[in-house]
Amino acid sequence: MTNYLIDLKNALTSKEQSRFLELFYNETAHLVFAFCRKKGITPQDGEDIVQIVYTKVYNKREKYNPDYSPLAWLFVITKSEAKDYLKKSAIYADYMKDYGLFADLSQNQAYDPSSKQEGQELDLSALSSKEKSALEQRYFAEKDFREIAETLGVTETNVRKIISRAIHKLKG
């Protein structure tokens, strides 16, 4: 395998950089894609990850150390991107599950604290003020976990736990 990364790193013009990146891509993209598929990533998402990986290769070309194999460097970037993708997918899946629950609760019946209604009743009195605030910011103000963490003075991880605990209490 030709080490196109050295050529990419040393290229002086954007035309040369583009040529060497394309050569490296053509020689190795199938490996990145195959790795993503083995990790259970869909073909469509795998193609997106391939594009992200080669964008990172280009942006980090100056950091490539020729003492190491170009495949080893590519593998580190690929592994990191696949891991980030899987982590984001899991967080998004959790969010959608929680959002689905919240949407279902909101469509079942309107909450009227002054009257008992048949069906599912939300007992907001069981929630702490922090839990109420976190739910309100997350689902009504559509803030992300970082923004909520800043307003509540806690970590993002703690916000996730607070919201999860609140939803669990609401489920009863």
pLDDT, tens digit (0-9, with 9 covering 90-100), for 107-161: 655 555 454 444 455 667 788 889 988 988 888 888 889 999 999 999 999 999 9
What backbone phi and psi angles, to 5 degrees, belong to 134? Answer: -65, -45
Give the Cα separation of 22 and 57 in Å (integer).
Answer: 11
Q: Is the pLDDT score of 172 beyond 70?
A: no
pLDDT over 90 (residue 33): yes
Task: Give the end of a domain, one of 64, 87, 110.
Answer: 87
The structure's pTM equals: 0.53
pLDDT in tens, 83-109: 888 888 777 677 777 777 666 666 655
Domain encompassing residue 82 = 4-87
Q: Are residues 67 and 134 in the same domain?
A: no
Considering the domain architecture, whether residues 130 and 79 belong to the same structural domain is answered as no
Per-residue pLDDT, 104 = 66
- The confidence score (pLDDT) of residue 105 equals 65
Give the closest residue to 64 by CA, choosing from 108, 21, 127, 29: 21
Check residue 118 and give its pLDDT.
Answer: 46
- Contacts of residue 68, Cβ cutoff 8 Å, sequence gap at least 6: none
Domain boundary among 87, 102, 133: 87
Kindly state the average pLDDT of the residues 158-166: 90
Please indicate, yes or no, whether residues 80 and 16 belong to a single structural domain of this protein. Answer: yes
The residue-averaged pLDDT of 36-41 equals 89
Would you list the DSSP string of 36-84? Answer: HHHTT--HHHHHHHHHHHHHHHHHTGGG--TTS-HHHHHHHHHHHHHHH
Q: What is the pLDDT of residue 168?
A: 83
Q: Are residues 82 and 25 in the same domain?
A: yes
- The answer to the question of residue 99 being in a domain is no
Q: In 3-state terms, what secondary structure has residue 6?
A: helix
What CATH number should be reported for the domain holding residue 44? Answer: 1.10.1740.10
Answer yes or no: is pLDDT of 45 > 80: yes
Residues 82 and 126 in one domain: no
State how far the alpha carbon of 48 is from the alpha carbons of 17, 22, 41, in Å: 21, 16, 10
